[in-house]
Chain A
């Protein structure tokens, strides 16, 4: 579904990613793990088209998407779920969700999909007229995932859905992501919460300093002691907290 070959990218003269190879099969769930400042957000932005590709190529659903504009990539069915702080706080929950469906012109189906999202996340239905700036952290995370679903994606990329959330809420979010993957949506999940991500994913990549350090099936990695070592780049506390939860 998504094929990344030898991708280099960065901001201006500053190169962050140095030769990334990554593959997400159709219908699969793949995790990209790494601490802060390892290049995982840059990789997501590069796939989405917000950061230009310097070298290499990105192929999605049989088409080369590297070099395309972000809004064109969204229209081809590859949708990035932003971090939870990136909802539009001055818009209502429903406006945020409708914005997710911006690329679609099938308005009657959009209404039905809105209902589907509300069934998925009943709390969003209760609060649909409320400004999203007033929601709790977990609710906003549900909102941005729901917003991603509104685009009727072939593939969703989730940017740290567990960030700054209470463990109980994280569990709820991940079970929802699992349900989404069961509907046939391909998923790439970017996480610092290694344990949760490896529970969900079939395959995982660990990124550090802009290169893929380790890759393998989730089962292999979950038992690999070196995985823990690769997180020593300053996020020990986070990882420990997550693992303890």
Chain B
């Protein structure tokens, strides 16, 4: 394959557009990790549920696409909070992370992943469902690269969501409290913060982000019960590459994974595209075990 600068640029742009989606799912995984001290292995299924909810809202109920996305985010947040309250709470209450119950939590996450997949299977079946959305606008043409409106929309919406989240966390009182809970629950308690409520809030927020990713990707890749697994793996890689617990890290990690796998597919071999994310993961773990933006290990009470 001969090299030209135009297509290199195109591959990087495509990498970024899918990378920001990995980024928002990774952001959720990172948030949950900071807030609950657990790696949430059912997050891919929340993403899948989000995609199906968006599909139902827009195709069957007829809500316009932006409304369907917001609706899916709200429903997924409620679903997430329900799961956290009913199933995870009793495990996280006795400590997460590297404790014995933290191990139980990981297993519980895997179980939830299988359970959610089967629930989705019973509701929507195993077939892939089309999610046609008319994005309307003409592709953006830069030299001979044309960027379709759906890719642009994906990137813009993802970045907006991250911007909103960043503003929320940095400049609002609730956001400040979320960060406090994420960093150290005991001190947060002493600040008068209702920590259990905030843990639910964090979980809901993370699930809403995953649902947004599902609704964004659905129109391009169709919606299917098994779609969550691959996204979880990519987002997990993004979160680790960026540094677990770091929010800007999740975004940068996602974009790096996106670019890395697209360049790998373009210039090395496309038949094993999914391994590039893990190759990057291994490289980062070898040379920077805390990830690119990893913060110092959390102080545990």
Contacts and interface: CB of A to CB of B under 8 A. Distances in A.
B187 A86 contact: yes
A74 B190 contact: yes
Contacts, number: 66
Interface in A16-62: 48-50
A177 B179 CA distance: 29
Given A85-B299, A95-B176, A98-B176, A74 B192 contact: yes
B101 interface: no
A91 B192 CA distance: 17
Interface string A109-150: 000000000000000000000000000000000000001000
B92 to A, nearest CB: 16
A3 interface: no
Nearest to B175: A95
Interface string B177-219: 1011001101101111111000000000000000000000000
A103 interface: yes
A183 B239 CA distance: 49
B193 A102 contact: yes
Contacts of B295: 90
A48 B301 CA distance: 14
Interface residues of A, number: 25
A49 B189 contact: yes
A100 B176 contact: no
B96 to A, nearest CB: 17
Interface in B151-191: 173, 176-177, 179-180, 183-184, 186-187, 189-191
A110 to B, nearest CB: 10
Contacts of B190: 48, 50, 70, 74, 79-80, 82
B191 A74 contact: yes
Interface residues of B, number: 20
Contact of B189 (A71, A89, A100): A71
A103 B195 CA distance: 13
B187 A103 contact: no
A70 B173 CA distance: 19
Contacts of B180: 88, 91, 99, 102
A75 interface: yes
Nearest to A157: B190
Contacts of B296: 89
B191 A99 contact: yes
A82 B187 contact: yes
A75 B192 contact: yes
Given A86-B299, A90-B295, A100 B183 contact: no
A151 interface: yes
A53 B191 CA distance: 20
A141 to B, nearest CB: 15
Nearest to A76: B192
Contacts of B184: 86, 88
Interface of B: 173, 176-177, 179-180, 183-184, 186-187, 189-195, 295-296, 299, 301
22 contacts: A49-B189, A50-B186, A69-B189, A70-B189, A70-B190, A70-B192, A71-B193, A71-B195, A79-B192, A86-B187, A88-B179, A88-B180, A90-B179, A90-B183, A90-B295, A99-B177, A99-B191, A100-B191, A102-B173, A103-B191, A147-B191, A151-B192
